[in-house]
Structure 1
C-alpha cells in the first residue's frame, strides 16, 4: 500500500452520516414537524410567502449549483479513467 492511499477503516464518517446522527436528525425533523403543526396559526403569516421563496430559489440554485458563468470545469471523457489505464 502506497503512502498516498487511505484505507476505508481509517476514514471516519461525519456525525450527520453516522447511525446516531441520522436518528438524531430524524427525531429533530419529527419534533419540528409537530411543533410547526401545533403552532401553525402563529406561523401562517410567514408561510404565505413560502411558495414565492421556493420559486425564487430555483433559478438561484440552477445558476450557482451547476457552475454556470464560466466557473464549471469540463473534463475530457478520455481523461476520467486515467488512473485505471495506468495500472
Structure 2
C-alpha cells in the first residue's frame, strides 16, 4: 500500500508581518513618527553634525568588534583570550 502524506508536512504559507493590516498601520505610524522627528529636530541635527559623526566612532568600534571576539588574541594562534597559558 503506497500512501503519500506530503501535504501534511508542508509548512503553511504565512504572510510577512508588514503585509498584514497591523503591519501596514505600524509602518505608516513609524513613517509618520520619523517624518516629525526629522522635521522638528532638523536644526539641531544640522547644527551639530560633526559631534554626531564623532559619537558614531565609539559606537561603531563597540559593535564592529563583536564579530571577532574583541581585542584579545590577535596574533596568538589557538589562544583566543590573548593570555600566555596562565
Category of TM-score, reference length = shorter chain: 0.3 to 0.5
User: Which protein, 1 or 2, shows the higher relative CO under an 8 Å CA cutoff with sep ≥ 6?
Assistant: 2
In our comparison, the structure showing a higher alpha carbon Rg is: 2
TM-score of the pair, normalised by structure 1 = 0.40
